[in-house]
Amino acid sequence: MNILLFNANELSHTRQLVINDLRRQTHLANVIKPAIGDTIRVGQINGALGLAKVIFHTLRETHLEVELHQASPAPK
């Protein structure tokens, strides 16, 4: 299962997330391979899970509109 994780401080007040660090951007480009308009699974570290719509994507940067709608599962 592929899920893009992010910290709470990365999410803007307009619910947008910009990914431009090498590790996550490489994973997005080489594994998930999103196109503009695609929806990918996301999760806030120590927070909720949800979906994000790709609104901009290049090899260096991806912009997402995030909608968190599910509580994270309880630790086992």
* 8 neighbors 44 (Cβ within 8 angstroms): yes
Domain boundaries, the chain: 4-70
Residue 1: band (very low, low, confident or very high) from pLDDT cuts 50, 70, 90 = low
pLDDT attached to residue 7: 95
For the stretch 13-30, pLDDT in tens is 999 999 999 999 998 988
Q: Give residue-wise pLDDT tens across range 36-73.
A: 999 999 999 999 999 999 999 998 999 999 999 998 77
Cα(14)–Cα(33) distance, integer angstroms: 24
Superfamily of domain 4-70: Hypothetical PUA domain-like; domain 1 (2.40.240.20)
